[in-house]
Chain A
Amino acid sequence: MTTATQPSLASKPKKRGGLLRQVMGNRMALFGVGLLLFFLLIALLAPIIAPGSPDKFAGPPNQPPSSEFLLGTTHLGKDVFKQTVWGARSSLLVGFGTAFFTTLIAIVVGMSAAYFRGLTDDLLTLVMNLFLVIPGLPLLIILSGYLRPATSTVIFVLTLTGWAFAARIVRSQTLMLREKDFVAAAKVSGDSNSRIIFREILPNMTSIIVGLAISGVAYGISAATALSFLGLTDISEVTWGTNLYWAQNGNALLSGAWWTFVPSGIAVALVIFALSLINYAMDEVTNPRLRAEKDLKDVFKQQSAQTVRATPVIRRAH
Chain B
Amino acid sequence: MRFILRRLGFYLIAFFVALTINFFLPRLIPGDPATAIIGRPGVSLTPEQLNAVRTALGLSDAPLFQQYLNYLGQLTRGDLGISYTRFPASVISVIRTGFIWTLLLVLTSLIISFTLGHLLGIYSAWRRGAFLAKALPPGMILFGAFPAFFIAISAVYYLGYQLKWFPTMHAYDVALTPGLNLPFLLSVGKHMTLPVLVLVLTTMGGWALGMRNVMVSVLGEDYITLAEAKGLSSRRVMYRYAARNAMLPSITSFGIVLGASISGLLLIEQVFSYPGLGFLMVNAVRNSDYPLMQGLFLLITVFVLVANFAVDILYTRLDPRVRAE
Contacts and interface: CB of A to CB of B under 8 A. Distances in A.
Question: Which of B10, B25, B150, B301 is packed against the most chain A CB atoms within 10 Å?
Answer: B150
B17 A135 contact: no
B200 interface: no
Nearest to A275: B145
A265 B145 contact: no
B288 A133 contact: no
B300 interface: yes
How many chain A residues sit at the interface, stated as a range, is: 35 or more
A138 B285 CA distance: 11
B145 A270 contact: yes
A35 B219 CA distance: 36
Determine the main DSSP class of B at the interface with A: helix
Contacts of A136: 259-260, 263
A134 B305 CA distance: 8
A69 interface: no
Interface string A278-299: 0010000000010000000000
Contacts of A156: none
Contacts of A269: 142, 145-147, 150
Nearest to A308: B128
A197 interface: no
A142 B291 CA distance: 11
Contacts of A129: 10, 14
B282 interface: yes
A107 interface: no
A8 to B, nearest CB: 37
B150 A133 contact: no
B294 A142 contact: yes
Given A126-B13, A138-B281, A146-B26, A277 B141 contact: yes
A130 B141 contact: no
B297 A130 contact: no
Given A138-B301, A142-B297, A253 B149 contact: no
A133 B308 contact: yes
Contacts of B146: 265, 268-269, 272
B266 A268 contact: no
Contacts of B141: 273, 276-277, 280
Contacts of B18: 134
A146 B153 contact: no
A138 B157 CA distance: 26
B7 to A, nearest CB: 10
Nearest to A271: B145
Contacts of A144: 285
Contacts of B281: 138, 141
A142 B25 contact: yes
A66 interface: no
B154 A265 contact: yes
B305 A145 contact: no
A230 B267 contact: yes
A218 B255 CA distance: 22
Given A230-B267, A256-B161, A270-B145, A134 B286 contact: no
Contacts of B290: 145
Interface string B285-325: 11010100110110011001100100000000000000000
Interface in B146-171: 146-147, 149-150, 153-154, 156-157, 160-162, 168
Interface stretch (A48-56, A78-86, A221-229): A221-229
B157 A253 contact: yes
B83 interface: no
Contact of B304 (A130, A133, A273): A133
Contacts of B149: 226, 229, 244
B179 interface: no
B256 A146 contact: no
Given A265-B146, A269-B146, A141 B161 contact: no
Given A244-B153, A276-B144, A307-B129, A130 B17 contact: yes
Interface in A236-277: 244, 247-248, 253-254, 256, 258, 261-262, 265, 268-270, 272-273, 276-277
Given A138-B300, A232-B285, A276 B145 contact: yes
A132 B220 contact: no
Nearest to A306: B129
A139 interface: yes
B29 interface: yes
A172 interface: no
B262 interface: yes
B93 interface: no
Contact of B301 (A135, A232, A277): A135
B203 interface: no
A271 to B, nearest CB: 8
A248 B153 CA distance: 8
Contacts of A132: 256
B113 interface: no
Across the A-B interface, the 4 shortest Cβ-Cβ residue pairs: A306-B129, A137-B263, A273-B145, A265-B150
Interface of A: 126, 129-130, 132-139, 141-146, 222, 225-226, 229-232, 244, 247-248, 253-254, 256, 258, 261-262, 265, 268-270, 272-273, 276-277, 280, 289, 303, 305-307, 309-311
21 contacts: A133-B14, A133-B305, A133-B308, A135-B263, A137-B266, A138-B266, A138-B300, A142-B25, A142-B294, A145-B285, A146-B29, A226-B267, A229-B270, A232-B286, A253-B153, A253-B168, A258-B157, A261-B157, A269-B142, A307-B129, A310-B220
Given A138-B263, A226-B147, 13 more contacts: A126-B10, A134-B17, A139-B21, A141-B293, A144-B285, A229-B267, A262-B154, A276-B144, A276-B145, A309-B128, A310-B220, A310-B225, A311-B220
